[in-house]
Amino acid sequence: MDEALRMLFEKQETVSLEAIKEILNSNHKLAPPREVKVTEVDLGHYDQLLEEASCDQT
């Protein structure tokens, strides 16, 4: 899907469901999905920001 969108963007074509289906159902050679590594987020930092913001409002 990602590569189909990339192809449409590069060709400056209109992105539509039909265009994506056409690419996915054709014999276009698509790159394999990319691996993405997302590091864990410490939500405690966000909580701390919210607490500090609420203290500033009082």
Q: Using H for helix, E for strand and C for coil, what is the string for the chain? A: CHHHHHHHHHCCCCCCHHHHHHHHHCCCCCCCCCCCCCCCCCHHHHHHHHHHHHHHCC
Task: Give pTM, 2 decimals.
Answer: 0.46
Q: What is the pLDDT of residue 58?
A: 58
> For residue range 44-56, what is the model confidence (pLDDT) as tens digits?
998 998 988 877 6
Per-residue pLDDT of the chain (58 residues), as tens digits, is: 788 888 899 899 999 999 999 988 887 776 777 788 889 989 999 899 898 887 766 5
